[in-house]
Amino acid sequence: MKNAKALTITYLTPVSFASLNGSDKEAENISSIKKLSRGTEQFPYGSSQWVRRALRDQLKNLGWTLSEGEAAKIAKGAATTEQKPDKYIDDDLFGFMGTVKGQAATTRTSPVRVSPLVSLNKYEGDLDFGTNYMGVKAGGNPNIFETEIHSGIYRGTVLIELDRVGCGDGFKDKKEELNSRERSKRVNSLLDAMKNLWSSGRQTRFLADISPKFVAAAILTTKNPIFLESVIPENGGVNAVILEEVLKDFKDEIKAVVFGARKDMFSALPESTITIGEAFNTMKKWVNEHYKS
Amino acid sequence: MYLFKLKAFAVTASFRIPESHTFQQTLPLPPITTLIGLVGAAVGLRFEDAMKFREDNELLLGIIGTNQGEFKDLWKYHKIKASEVISDVLVREYLTNFEMSLYVGSQRDDVVRHVRESFLSPCYALSAGNSDDLLKIQQVGEVKNTDEVPLLEFKNTVLAGDYSANFDSAIDLEKVPITETIRAPQVYLLPTAFNFNGSERRVSERKSFTFVGSPIRLRDPIPGFQIEEEAIVLI
């Protein structure tokens, strides 16, 4: 794993009944979900910042202290974090930009790149109908509302720039940079967060599990999300031919590859597919080996 | 001219029009500064150094790209107003299933080969606009030595200059599906040079660019390269 530069994971998560990521209001009393258009169809998605929020929350659940909410030092502008990547895992993995009037901006480009979680099934116009009785006791009328809901298979990708975790921009000097053990620990925690991916938005009424049920992961000598558009559900399974083609096309750049799945959920999978847990354990081994070498 | 072609794909792409804030409209294709930033990310240069790298090496870039749709993404963020942190939203426009051919050219063979090698193993992960618009490199072509030819017909590309008075539509309406959007060329005045002062940068030059969507035929030809089916002008 010596020359590895990146770990990429493309994952599928079937969602049976959800209203994942809220959008801007399109109509009165209807809570919309984010959707993108392709031709005449619309496809729901969870934005990349929404996935990042879910990953941050899971890191917190895993026991990490996060660096958030430190107001910028200027009177006007965007609020930022503590900007201490040596101390805080989220500043290290997700980057930041801080500005102080009269001083150079401190920036750290996130070494973790996160694509949106996009549904591969179109939005069918389904709405959940509800009535809010909260104001009735106070003499008001029941208030009706609707929420856009969707069922389908969602696909997302994460790319981790292994050579930029725990070092580089945002760290004051070499002394502040992390040792290989700490880098492994942080990347492995991110893998745990991904394995247990869960978003807090709209879960009170629409409890949805967005943890990966199929993963295609590779550790690479180049920074390229090779499975980005190539994990394709087909007839209840996953198209193995396209994945084989990707492996063939990028054989010179791939150090190791793994496919993992909650097997009984899919009718057909690539031959070498192991369980989700085993796949994430394999990735952790790669990470440990990489930072040891 | 020595040049190579790179093919790439992104699920989402967004090329913000400068100076837009709470509604961040996207350009239909990456502007020249984004392309220079992309080369910089591959080579491992900060934007300021990438601008200099392009100038020193007379690097020219060309783009052809298509997308399958658009959407507006809602961003919630925290901002500071009167020393208080408050929540606010902005809307950013995106393209989806964005496919692009990037052409990199120079009179210097060694420079083009260096950039090509960098795209084979980029220093930073590449993106199509925002850092989360993951860009997958599908193919990096070989370096070719090619001469310019006069070109008249273009589609889905960016031309340097304002061609709004120098084109006729080349759309064959008989063959266009009814659901396909017809896009007239759009001219934008975009930054092309900056004065850098530490991490601060100020625009020092702007030039007009014509973003061509649906096919057009220029009234007067311009020099460019015909690479297989693609007509490209390096800018």
List pLDDT tens digits, range B34-48. Answer: 999 999 999 999 999
Identify the pLDDT of residue B87.
84
What are the structure tokens assigned to A285, written together? 């081994």
Average pLDDT over residues A71-81: 65
Q: How many residues does chain A have?
A: 293
DSSP string for A263-289: GGG-S---TT-EEHHHHHHHHHHHHHH
Report the relative pairing of strands B69-81 and B60-66 from DSSP bridges.
Answer: unpaired
The mean pLDDT of B46-61, rounded to a whole number, is: 95
Contact indicator for A100, A162 with CB cutoff of 8 Å: no
- A229: nearest CB among B9, B126, B137: B9
pLDDT at A101 over 80: no
Which of A102, A116, A101 lies closest to A48, judged by CA? Answer: A116
pLDDT of residue B123: 94
The mean pLDDT value for B83-100 works out to 89
Shortest Cα–Cα distance, B207 to chain A (Å): 28
| Residue from B80, B81, B83, B94 to probe the interface with A (highest A Cβ count within 10 Å) | B80
Which chain B residues are within 8 Å of A104, Cβ to Cβ?
198-200
For position A27, what pLDDT does the model report? 82
* pTM reported for the whole predicted model: 0.90
Does the beta carbon of A27 lie under 8 angstroms from any beta carbon of chain B?
A: no
The tokens describing A128, both together, are 């959940």
Q: In angstroms, rounded to a whole number, what is the distance separating the alpha carbons of residues A23 and B115? A: 40
For the record, the structure tokens of A288 come out as: 């440990």
Select the residue of A95, A107, A115 nearest B11 (Cβ to Cβ).
Answer: A115
Q: Please give, rounded to a whole number of angstroms, the shortest distance from the CA of B148 to a CA of chain A.
A: 32
pLDDT score of B78: 80
Read off the pLDDT of each residue in B79-93 and give the average, rounded to a whole number: 82
**pLDDT exceeds cutoff 80 at A189:** yes
Residue listed under structure tokens 């009785």: A133
> Do residues A227 and A216 touch, judged by C-beta distance below 8 A?
yes
Question: Does A32 lie at the interface with B, CB-CB under 8 angstroms?
Answer: no
Cα(A290)–Cα(A23) distance, rounded to whole angstroms?
40
Nearest CA in chain A to B197: A104
> Do A36 and B94 lie within an 8 Å CB cutoff?
yes
Is the Cβ of A200 closer than 8 Å to some Cβ of chain B?
no
3-state secondary structure of A226: coil
Chain B interface disruption, residue of A42, A223, A226, A254, most B CBs within 10 A: A223
Encode pLDDT of B182-206 as tens digits: 899 999 999 999 998 877 788 999 9
